[in-house]
């Protein structure tokens, strides 16, 4: 079941980011597994690099120019969301941009725009390769 964009827009950015975090992490895990068989520890290390706030912050810079007006608005809502606790391992500005990315991925996924999620994720992977 998918929500309409209007319904999804009623959700707080933090709720969309909560969901988007899992969407993004699943994409990352699939990507590292498809790169080739290795041990689980190595897969974990590769995945962690891509789900860090600093990496996701860079990912926002990659996809920002290709966003629609609606997507850019969702991204802004995520970046400006209140009630975010920044972990000590991240800079506040990076963490806010990472939250924005997760908000966008959550919004797109919950509204059934899976092709768009894949398109944006593929652009991120092309622009920001993680060492093998």
Residue 112 gets the label, from left (phi > 0), alpha (psi -120 to 50) or beta, of left
Annotated catalytic residue 132: no
Name residues whose C-beta falls within 8 Å of residue 115's C-beta, 6 or more positions apart in sequence: none
CB 13 within 8 A of CB 78: yes
The C-alpha atoms of residue 81 and residue 113 are separated, in whole angstroms, by 22
Active site residues: 21
């Amino acid at each position: 079941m998918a929500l309409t964009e209007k319904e999804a827009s009623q959700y707080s950015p933090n709720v969309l980011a909560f969901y988007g975090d899992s969407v993004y992490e699943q994409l990352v895990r699939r990507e590292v597994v498809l790169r080739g068989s290795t041990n689980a520890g190595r897969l974990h290390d590769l995945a962690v690099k891509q789900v860090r706030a600093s990496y996701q912050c860079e990912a926002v810079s990659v996809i920002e120019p290709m966003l629609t007006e609606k997507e850019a608005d969702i991204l802004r809502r995520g970046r400006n969301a209140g009630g975010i606790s920044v972990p000590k391992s991240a800079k506040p500005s990076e963490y806010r941009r990472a939250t924005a990315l997760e908000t966008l991925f959550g919004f797109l996924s919950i509204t059934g725009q899976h092709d768009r999620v894949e398109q944006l994720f593929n652009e991120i992977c092309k622009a920001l390769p993680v060492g093998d």
